[in-house]
Amino acid sequence: MLTHGSLGGAIKGGYRQPSAGMDRYRGGGPPLRPGYNGVSGYPPSASGKQHWPSHGKGGGVNGDSWRGKSTNKGNGFKNGSHVGGKGTPRKEEEVHFDDAPAEETQYDDMAQEECPFEEDDAEAAPLEDDNGEEVPEHLKEAVEASLKLKRVIEKETVNGARKKRKLDAGTKVVSVDDKEKIKELLRRYRLEDDVASKFVLGSLSSEALDHLLSVGWVPDGSHSSLKKSSAELIADFALSAKERGIIHNMICDAVTAFAFRWQLKEADAQLLRGLNHKDIRYCLREYDGSRSMEELAEEASATMPEEGRASDAAPDKPGISTLGRFVRLELIDPFADALVVGDANLTFALALAQHRKALGHVGRIVATTFEPIEVLRQRYPEIDSTVQVLEDHHAEVWHEVDCTRIAIDARFRGHEEAFGAVYYNYPHAGSVRGFFDAHPFVRWRHENLMHLFFRALRAFVKPGGQVKIASNANATGVRYSDIISAGMVNEFAHTETFPFTDWQLKGYHRSYGDKRDALQRPGEEAGYRSQNTDKDMVYSFCFAPTGEAVPEAPVRMPPSCKDLMDSTIVCGCGFICQYSMKRCERNQHHFKPAGQHRQADEGRKEEVIMALYDRFLSEIKGVHVG
């Protein structure tokens, strides 16, 4: 049994061999909401129509940690912009892209929102790690999607910026019906020649396209003069609608998360809220849908708490608040190892090490950074002393660790099912100059980061192990919905969301996680520009494997090099943005008639785009790019 743990024994899932000292899990818990696949959203109601719960928002600012941070604001919805609005298609003139070349709209190379790779592509080459060695069979699931995405991007860099993506690059062709839906939407929006909007619509699921066709919303073209292009507005609106189909982004207690997962009736949720600590743990642990909650609650009242387990402490205290205390006080398995990823200056790992020492834990900590130690020394003069203190606490410190590729990192071999707790604070895939985090040309990286991260963890987290991800509820790079959905798809049950300020480990010294730290670092109380600290949340998960095969990791494909060539404009200084955003206020220092900031010629433009794709390739390879 778990000696410590908030919900370590409260989530069902089932696994092959129960680890010593762990609560036993049985199969039966549905990893996904009925009618919801964890990726595309848009859960159908019994009538076949789309059902939209009244929660879920987006917009705001992301945090630090992996590679950087940038901001984003604004909505730009007009004419019935709410879901189900009754606005009519606008009659304004067609959007023009300055000197952007217009060409016939193509649909055959559009990728679906979920982009499974074709089997013949998977068989073309064995899965190999960075040393050229074949990945062990039991780890292939953890890294397959990452390596295949790398091959797709490599093909783009070979094909060049003027060639269309080949269909054998690993994408699945959009259905004939969806092509017609996309054509209709582009006509409705008067964006037939808008390559970026075509890319966005081509990445949406069939359900999302149906929703866009069913409402009267159209992108407000006048908004492009402020902050967002039509393609961004379409992506924002579709994502906002999708997020209405999942749990909300703010505080969510254990009963709310459990009820959402199992789609419990309100009466069952209220029953759980009235139980004491001992009984609510029993019900959350034993419920599998085969018996009523009333029957389980009666059975729980007859049980006796076991001595010597922290999870059985305070058995008669109010259940819901006591569960919340456990998760906030970070009472994790004292015998299991803990993994920290993306900890730029290692101060979070240090806080965790000191916390575990004070509690008498014997499990070790593996603290990792994405950057090499040489880069860290340039940014954080104290890094060597921090490493020394960590090692004095018997922690291991590993550098140049990409959390999406740990299955091909030799240092993780032998650590399968070793980690009882994993931490990733403010995940971010890095800023791209000229694009906000939410721009569809770069946001695919943030979404993929979460899906590849959770998929990689499956081989290394113990059943019942906890994963905590701190993020701002309104982040627009890695959105809360990316975190929740990726966890669900990979059988990490969402157990609770609580304010970062309530967390026992909140006191570490945050950093930007990029080159800005060498010149300016947030103070002890400093926040981030345009980021409200009261929206910082900790999303808590429990690994609950059912033993059944999980769906292929859904990865979102990037725009092709040709898409970027046809829809962007490049300044002589290397700044890149969409044609339609050329006159945006934030771009006023670029695209001058002459000088360093004049518009780049086609040769220079191609160089910049290929350099951007080289960066994408470096990122997917786990190479630090600054």
Q: What confidence tens digit (pLDDT) does each residue in 561-570 have?
A: 899 999 999 9
pLDDT tier, 583 (very low <50, low <70, confident <90, very high otherwise): confident
pLDDT tier, 174 (very low <50, low <70, confident <90, very high otherwise): confident
Average pLDDT over residues 577-592: 86
Say what the pLDDT of residue 531 is.
57
Whether the pLDDT of residue 496 is over 80: the answer is yes
Whether the pLDDT of residue 71 is over 50: the answer is no
Cα dihedral across residues 594, 599, 601, 603: positive or negative? positive
The b-or-e profile of 315-353 (16+ CB within 10 A means b, else e) is beebbbebbbbbbbbbbbbbbbbbbbbbbbbbbbbbbbb
Q: Answer whether 114's CB lies under 8 Å from 40's CB.
A: yes
Task: State the first-to-last Cα distance of the chain, in angstroms, to the nearest integer.
Answer: 44
Whether the pLDDT of residue 119 is over 70: the answer is no
pLDDT digits (tens, 9 = 90+) for 130-158: 666 777 777 777 778 887 788 878 877 76
Domain 328-543, classified CATH 3.30.70.330, yes or no: no
Least confident of 28-32, 46-50, 168-172, 515-519: 46-50
Whether the pLDDT of residue 475 is over 90: the answer is yes
Query: 392 — phi, psi (to 5°)?
Result: -65, -25
Whether the pLDDT of residue 210 is over 80: the answer is yes
Contacts 24+ apart (CB under 8 A), 196-199: 196/229, 196/230, 196/231, 196/440, 196/441, 196/559, 196/563, 196/567, 196/578, 196/580, 197/230, 197/231, 197/234, 198/105, 198/107, 198/110, 199/110, 199/231, 199/440, 199/441, 199/559, 199/563, 199/567
* Concatenated DSSP letters of 133-150: PBPPGGGHHHHHHHHHHH
Share of the chain above pLDDT 90, in %: 55
Q: Specify the higher pLDDT residue, 531 or 535.
A: 535
pTM score: 0.80
DSSP category for residue 221 = G
* Concatenated DSSP letters of 372-422: -HHHHHHH-TTHHHHHHHHHHTT-EEE-S--TT-GGG-GGGTT-TT-EEEE
HSE toward the beta carbon, residue 460, CA cutoff 13 A:
30
Average pLDDT over residues 419-443: 93
pLDDT digits (tens, 9 = 90+) for 249-293: 999 999 999 999 999 999 999 999 999 999 999 999 999 999 999
Least confident of 33-42, 56-65, 287-296, 318-327: 56-65
Strands 419-425 and 492-499, sheet pairing: unpaired
Average pLDDT over residues 464-483: 96
Q: Specify the higher pLDDT residue, 327 or 9.
A: 327
What are the structural domain ranges in the chain?
135-171+560-621, 328-543
Distances from the Cα of 309 to the Cα of 4, 8, 10, 71, 213, angstroms: 7, 12, 14, 45, 55
Average pLDDT over residues 589-600: 91
pLDDT digits (tens, 9 = 90+) for 363-394: 999 999 999 999 999 999 999 999 999 999 99
Say what the pLDDT of residue 55 is.
32
Whether the pLDDT of residue 399 is over 90: the answer is yes
Q: Specify the higher pLDDT residue, 291 or 46.
A: 291
pLDDT tier, 312 (very low <50, low <70, confident <90, very high otherwise): confident
Q: Specify the higher pLDDT residue, 626 or 485.
A: 485
pLDDT tier, 170 (very low <50, low <70, confident <90, very high otherwise): very low
Q: What is the mean pLDDT of the chain?
A: 79
Say what the pLDDT of residue 226 is.
61
Whether the pLDDT of residue 29 is over 50: the answer is no
Distance, in Å, from the CA atom of 400 to the CA atom of 93, rounded to the nearest integer, reads 51
